[in-house]
């Protein structure tokens, strides 16, 4: 059995930016996992709670040896080191062009003409669920906004 702990509403934010002036070069990505004291406290608390659940009378008969970080890792400092070593995303990056920052309220990229961004990239905060359904909702809302604005412009 595998179990994970996640901070789905982090306080800290990361960023994606150009690494050089050549668009073909890989971008600079800083995830900033646990970049705030609150995020760090939340993941440590969650990890300890998960361990208690996994070692409970109800589950422990069905589980083998703890593989990561291992049953001998018990000190807070060592647990924190293991969390940092194993930190990863759930591969649902979003908010890279969030509304109110890079996008205006009409889904247009500020400072550019003819470019709109719709989908999870426009979400200013991550949802506490898989991103597919919220992405559909954002796209539906944006489509209605764009259609309405277009019809008003052609009256």
The string of DSSP codes covering 97-152 is T-BTTTB-TTSBBTT-SS-B--SGGG-SS--SS-SHHHHHHHHHHHHHHHHHHHHH
Q: What is the pLDDT of residue 150?
A: 85
- Domain count across the chain: 2
pLDDT value, residue 123: 87
Residue 123 inside a domain? The answer is: yes
Residues 79 and 135 in one domain: no
Domain extent for 150: 92-155
**Inside any domain, residue 155:** yes
Residue numbers in the chain where pLDDT is lower than 50:
none
Three-class SS of 30-91: ECCCCCCHHHHHHHHHHHHHHHHHHCCCCCHHHCCCCCCCCCCCCCHHHHHHHHHHHCCCCC
pLDDT of 20: 96
Residues 78 and 98 in one domain: no
- Dist CA 93 CA 149 (whole Å): 29
pLDDT of residue 15: 85
């Amino acid at each position: 059995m595998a179990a994970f702990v996640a901070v789905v509403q982090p306080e800290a934010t990361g960023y994606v930016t150009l690494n050089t002036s050549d668009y073909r070069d890989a971008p600079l990505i800083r995830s900033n996992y646990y970049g705030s004291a609150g995020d760090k406290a939340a993941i440590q608390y969650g990890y300890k709670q998960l361990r208690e659940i996994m070692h409970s009378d109800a589950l422990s008969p069905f589980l083998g040896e703890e593989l990561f970080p291992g049953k001998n890792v018990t000190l807070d400092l060592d647990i924190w080191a293991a969390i940092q070593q194993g930190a990863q995303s759930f591969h649902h990056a979003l908010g890279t062009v969030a509304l109110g920052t890079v996008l205006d309220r009409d889904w247009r990229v500020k400072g550019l003409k003819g470019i709109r961004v719709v989908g999870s990239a426009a979400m200013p905060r991550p949802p506490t669920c898989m991103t597919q359904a919220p992405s559909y909702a954002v796209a539906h809302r944006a489509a209605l906004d764009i259609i309405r604005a277009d019809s008003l412009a052609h009256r």
